[in-house]
């Protein structure tokens, strides 16, 4: 398995996007299915934003100051996703705004993924090179092991609170 940080993040993106499609294909009244898929989306996004915020973004910001604006925008996009995920985690699939909130989350995260993959990743790959990206990826794999799986876990709450008061 590759430890290239960008390859790892793109693999996460593929799994996240697949779950988005599954959610969108579920029927309007498929509450159990939507609930199961939404829980998986919450877990995937909680882990993914954690490893990006804890490893990828700080290191890239340090090593490539010219992409700082991109990193800051990504932090803000994660902040929005974190807030939506926290709200969604407290809802039931039958709730009136559950599907609408999930749809807004999906739209925001799709936009974030497109920007990362089309604009940011190429700059990072060119600026850091293969060896640094492999080291970053190895650090991200370690972070994934300790990453929160739900937004209510202390490390996830800290990340969201830090984003709110920063």
Domain count within the chain: 1
> Which two three-digit tokens encode residue 2?
């590759």
Residue 72 neighbours by CB under 8 Å, 6+ apart = none
Task: Name the DSSP letter for residue 52.
Answer: I
- Domain span at residue 139 reads 5-165
Residue 2, pLDDT score: 76
Q: For the chain, give the number of residues.
A: 166
pLDDT classification of 131: cutoffs 50, 70, 90: very high
The answer on pLDDT for 1 being more than 70 is no
Measured distance CA(125)–CA(5) in Å, rounded: 9
Gap between the Cα atoms of 151 and 79, Å rounded: 12
Query: DSSP secondary-structure letter at 1?
Result: -
The pTM score is: 0.91
Sign of CA dihedral 48, 51, 52, 56: negative
**In the block, residue with structure tokens 């398995």:** 1
Q: Which segment of 28-32, 107-111, 122-126, 150-154 scores lowest on mean pLDDT?
A: 150-154
């Amino acid at each position: 398995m590759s430890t290239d940080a960008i390859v790892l993040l793109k693999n996460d993106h593929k799994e996240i996007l697949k779950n988005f499609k599954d959610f969108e294909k579920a029927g309007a009244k498929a509450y159990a299915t939507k609930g199961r898929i939404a829980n998986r989306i919450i877990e995937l996004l909680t882990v993914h934003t954690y490893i990006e915020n804890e490893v990828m973004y700080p290191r890239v910001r340090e090593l490539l100051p010219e992409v700082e604006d991109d990193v800051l925008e990504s932090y803000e996009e994660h902040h929005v996703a974190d807030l939506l995920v926290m709200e969604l985690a407290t809802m039931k699939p039958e709730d009136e705004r559950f599907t609408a909130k999930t749809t807004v989350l999906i739209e925001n995260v799709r936009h974030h993924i497109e920007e990362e993959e089309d604009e940011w990743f190429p700059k990072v790959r060119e600026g850091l090179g293969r060896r640094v990206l492999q080291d970053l990826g190895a650090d991200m794999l370690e972070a994934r092991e300790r990453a929160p799986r739900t937004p209510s876990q202390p490390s996830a709450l800290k990340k969201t609170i830090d984003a709110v008061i920063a």
